[in-house]
Amino acid sequence: MKIYKSVLILLAMCSLMVRPQSIVAVEPPIPPKPLTTTEHIQKVFGDKAPLMTAIFKAESSLNTKNVNWNCHYYKIVINQKTGKEENKRYSTSCKTKAERVNAWSVDCGIAQINHRGKVCPEHLFKIENNLAIAKQKLDTQGLKAWSVYTNGTYKRFL
């Protein structure tokens, strides 16, 4: 009988220790809100963000899928040393859609990153990649890497 009582006491004590935990409902985490285009620019460029936003507005209208093709053209110039006419090659946006087949490069994405060839690589359409490359260009080449800066077009977007 003593063993029986001891076993009952032991079982009673175990049942107290193994009580089921109360169930607590946990809300799933709310995913972070995606950054806006201007927030991406702010994150990458900090205090230069307003200027870079104006440049990118002039370059691409802040369109992450923007593409512009570059063609070579020729113009006759007078050589200052010899006084003779020369054919000088220059690059600018292709003048017509039909000329795009002759493009030597494309400008891709929000910051219009130049890429040799006729097709933009997909990674340049991702804003994080495009802006990271733009930041490297700014750090190594300065603002003159963007023609809209050198010709002043960006100023109307400030």
- Residues in the chain, pLDDT under 50: none
Q: What is the largest CA-CA distance in the chain?
A: 125
CB 93 within 8 A of CB 68: yes
CB 78 within 8 A of CB 90: no
**What is the pLDDT of the chain when averaged over all its residues?**
89
Q: What pLDDT sits at residue 6?
A: 58
Q: What pLDDT sits at residue 146?
A: 96
Q: What pLDDT sits at residue 126?
A: 98
What is the phi/psi pair of residue 71, to 5°? -120, 155
Taking CA 93 as the corner, what is the angle to CA 149 and CA 128, rounded to the nearest 5 degrees?
Answer: 60
Q: What pLDDT sits at residue 90?
A: 86
DSSP-assigned letters across all residues of 29-75: PPPPPPPPHHHHHHHHHGGGHHHHHHHHHHHHTT-TT-EEEEEEEEE
